Structure 1
Amino acid sequence: MYEFILLFCSVAAGFLGSLLGLGGGIIIVPTLTLLFHVNIRYAIAASLISIVATSSGAAASYLKDNLTNLRVAVLLEIGTVTGAITGFLLARKIQSQALFLLFGVFLFFSSLMMLRKRGENLSAKNHPWSEKLKLASSYPNEKGEHLFYKVENVPFGLAAMYVAGVLSALLGIGSGIFKVLAMDNAMKLPMKVSSATSNFMIGVTAAASAGAFLLRGDVRPEIAAPVSVGIIIGSWLGARFMMKIPSSVIRKIFVAILTIVSIQMILRGLS
């Protein structure tokens, strides 16, 4: 029964993680710690392994379906990694309680703004950096039609990724939410492209952190193995369903997850 529940939760985490570009940790860590009473260090380590599995399981499908924008991913990863290094250096000097509260409020506000957004509102103009780096591309919608999009506010998006990396390291949370928010709101990428590109990026970020946890001995095979299997199955299913689900539905699911996370962060900041 234990293994069945863990496998089911892992499949659900992989499905939502690949669909929204968030990674499975947002579901797996609370499940392991609250439901199975796993030590938080082992839960986080298993979560990082699962994020790599999510990215690996979904990235190939999204690349095949022309949803991932590789040029945008490589550019933004520079900001995220640089921010993560900065956050690591600042981690011992800054109290995180106020940051949890402040960013929880910001995420809740962002979820309200995304809920009000109607349709994709594809950008009609390219930022000069987008022109030089050839970031504009196209993606297939649920009808199989290719929709062309351009990329706005590239410097702002890069700066947002740096801040995302800093906050991710300071708060010990995944940066998938920040990635999707920045690409969707600032750079005006379509929701499906934002999710698929974030999926590709989070695997790179999580791989480095997972290596550190592995060297420290926090990766427990009896926990990480079944979680990773379930995550891979779920991420494959999520990648298959992505092409069939309208962007508006994906946006609503993302807003629901965003609201839950923001409330958790506010409560943690107040505690």
Structure 2
Amino acid sequence: MDLTIFQISLLMIFGIFIGIIGSVLGVGGGIFIVPFLLLVFKLPIKSAIAVSLVSIIATSSSVASTNVEKGLANVRLGVFLEIATAAGSIAGSLLMLKIPSDFLQIFFAFMLIPSALSMYIKAKKPSMEEIPLDSDEDFSFSYYDSSLKRQVRYKPKKTKIAFLFSAIAGMLSGLLGIGGGIIVVPVMNIICGIPMKVATSTSNFMLGLTGCVSAIILFKNGYVVENIAVFLIIGVIVGGIIGMKFLSRAKNSTVQIIFSILMMGISIEMIWRTFSR
């Protein structure tokens, strides 16, 4: 489709917003991109999802290498949880045809509320166990926190429980067509007890892995609208750079509060959308 200068500008500005949100909160931005493309550009749902996936991969790619280099992304933990998330996503896609979508949206929305409250309360009382750097714990790691101006050492807890919840996150992602980051980030922060900045950075790393296969399939079937995707991605990359600068300087508690507000907003929006039909 042919784009006007206004539409190109709109795509890039929206992409910057998504890039900032995605890089800071580790949610990818699909929950915003798909409705935006459906309402503003009138794309078919499959094309909107395809462009969204490509944009999410761009968000992940633009920040993942920096996050890994700085130690913000815990690659070992991310790969471990991604196995469960991917398997759950496949199961969710298969179950989608058999379970009423309204029931799922209400269930998911009410599940987000206690998670949001828990994260908000935790942000007010931050507590992080520090461990020696030479610890032989499988997923133990450290990173330099610019806001604290020191090295932060942490040990993820209850990783087996987190693995189970990641499978559930993947299943809900497949059922509802949203990115798993909105669930995986609270799992890593609340259950594993890892710093919020590590949780969002690791989620961004995982989102890139999750989206690749689906994006390739949709691209091969011609669902990706290239000119829309290109300008959206340009904005996403710029936003990702801006978001990374904010993330490196922000306190973990600040990111937790922003994320909890986002979760609460999404849950309210999903409840309203379901009951207003």
* TM beyond 0.5: yes
Q: Is this contact kept in 2: 1:97–1:268, CA < 8 A?
A: no
CA distance in 2, matches of 1:179, 1:171: 15
Structure 1's unaligned 5+ residue stretches are none
Of 177, 182, 190, 1:185 maps to 190
Q: Is this contact kept in 2: 1:123–1:151, CA < 8 A?
A: no
- Alpha carbon RMSD of aligned pairs, Å? 1.8
Q: Does 1:85 align with 2:85?
A: no
Counterpart secondary structure, 1:37: coil
Deviations 1:213-237, CA, capped at 9 Å, x for gaps: 1123210102111111111111122
Cα distance change of structure 1 residues 234 and 11 upon mapping to structure 2, 3 Å threshold: same
| Shift of residue 41, structure 1, vs aligned partner | 2.3
Q: Does 1:96 align with 2:101?
A: yes
Of 134, 156, 160, 2:161 maps to 156
Q: Does 1:7 align with 2:28?
A: no
Name the aligned partner's letter for residue 120 of structure 1.
Answer: P
Cα distance change of structure 1 residues 123 and 159 upon mapping to structure 2, 3 Å threshold: farther
CA distance in 1, matches of 2:216, 2:266: 26
Comparing 147-156 with 28-37, greater Cα deviation is found at 28-37
- Hey, what does 1:54 align to over in structure 2? 59
Q: Is this contact kept in 2: 1:136–1:149, CA < 8 A?
A: yes
Name the aligned partner's letter for residue 126 of structure 2.
Answer: E
Q: Is this contact kept in 2: 1:17–1:235, CA < 8 A?
A: yes
CA distance in 1, matches of 2:261, 2:11: 23
Name the aligned partner's letter for residue 239 of structure 2.
Answer: G
Deviations 1:53-101, CA, capped at 9 Å, x for gaps: 0000000111121111011011101110111121122222222210110
| Shift of residue 125, structure 1, vs aligned partner | 8.3
Deviations 1:150-202, CA, capped at 9 Å, x for gaps: 11111110000000111110111110111101000111010000010001000
Of 49, 55, 58, 1:44 maps to 49
Counterpart secondary structure, 2:249: coil
Counterpart secondary structure, 1:243: helix
Structure 2's unaligned 5+ residue stretches are 1-5
- Hey, what does 2:221 align to over in structure 1? 216
Comparing 26-35 with 224-233, greater Cα deviation is found at 26-35
CA distance in 2, matches of 1:144, 1:20: 21
Q: Is this contact kept in 2: 1:105–1:262, CA < 8 A?
A: yes
- Hey, what does 1:239 align to over in structure 2? 244
- Hey, what does 1:121 align to over in structure 2? 127
Cα distance change of structure 1 residues 9 and 70 upon mapping to structure 2, 3 Å threshold: same
- Taking structure 1 as the reference length, the TM-score comes to 0.93
Q: Does 1:139 align with 2:143?
A: yes
Q: Does 1:226 align with 2:237?
A: no
Q: Is this contact kept in 2: 1:45–1:218, CA < 8 A?
A: yes
Structure-to-structure mapping, 1:27-38, within 5 angstroms: 27-38=32-43
CA distance in 2, matches of 1:163, 1:132: 29
Name the aligned partner's letter for residue 140 of structure 1.
Answer: Y
Q: Is this contact kept in 1: 2:16–2:237, CA < 8 A?
A: yes
How many residues in Structure 1 have an aligned counterpart in Structure 2? 267
CA distance in 2, matches of 1:260, 1:102: 15
